[in-house]
Amino acid sequence: MTSIYDAIKADHETHRTLLNAIAETSGDSTDRQRSWQEFYTDVKSHAAAEEETFYSKLMHETWGQDAARHSVSEHKELDDLMEELNEADMSSSGWLVKFKKLKHDYEHHMDEEEADVFKRAKEVIGAEHNDTFGKNFQKRKQEELGLIDQKRQDSMED
């Protein structure tokens, strides 16, 4: 089985790879479109699953609440940027400027999560539960993949 930390780190590595791949593309190319779509769907499902299966547990401890709230707040900021990018013209210079901000902010978020949040989480989630949390995260992520379009429609109606 995969621990919660290994599952999240594996996703982060995929996301770092995709961010770098997107950064190496130009214009409204097929490579950029394909890499962006893969990044977009994977990060959306990753963040939702992470909040529901990982951060919700940290919220149970007062000293874990600030770290969890901070990360969830960053998720919202990153999600807003991703939605702006998803709607923008990939061939515009504005798209690239916004993407570079997203890349910088998301890399910071992943580094902070792996260095700081994991440390706190290990005090809340006992080692004996790491694999169960990992399994729950992966299961929820798969479910979230099927909800991306519906959630996007719901947010547009708000």
On the question of pLDDT at 153 being above 80, the answer is no
Q: Give, in degrees to the nearest 5, the angle at Cα 91 between 85 and 93.
A: 75
pTM: 0.90
Model pLDDT for residues 49-93, shown as the tens digit of each residue: 999 999 988 887 766 778 888 899 999 999 999 999 999 999 998
* Percent of the chain as helix, strand, coil, to the nearest 5: 85, 0, 15
